[in-house]
Amino acid sequence: MPITIKVNKTGPYFIAPEQMAEVQIVDHEGNIIQPKSAKGIKLCRCGASSEKPFCDGTHSRIGFLAAEQAAKEFDQGK
Q: Are strands 25-26 and 32-33 parallel, antiparallel or unpaired?
A: antiparallel
Is the previous residue joined to 35 through a cis bond, with omega within 30 degrees of 0?
no
15 Ramachandran zone, left/alpha/beta (phi>0; psi -120 to 50): beta
- Of 58, 34, 30, residue with least CA distance to 44: 58
Tens-place pLDDT, residues 7-31: 998 899 999 999 999 999 999 999 9
Cα-flanking dihedrals φ and ψ of residue 11, to 5°? -135, -155
- pTM, two decimals, is 0.82
Tens-place pLDDT, residues 55-76: 999 999 998 987 776 667 677 7
Please state the domain extents for the chain: 6-76
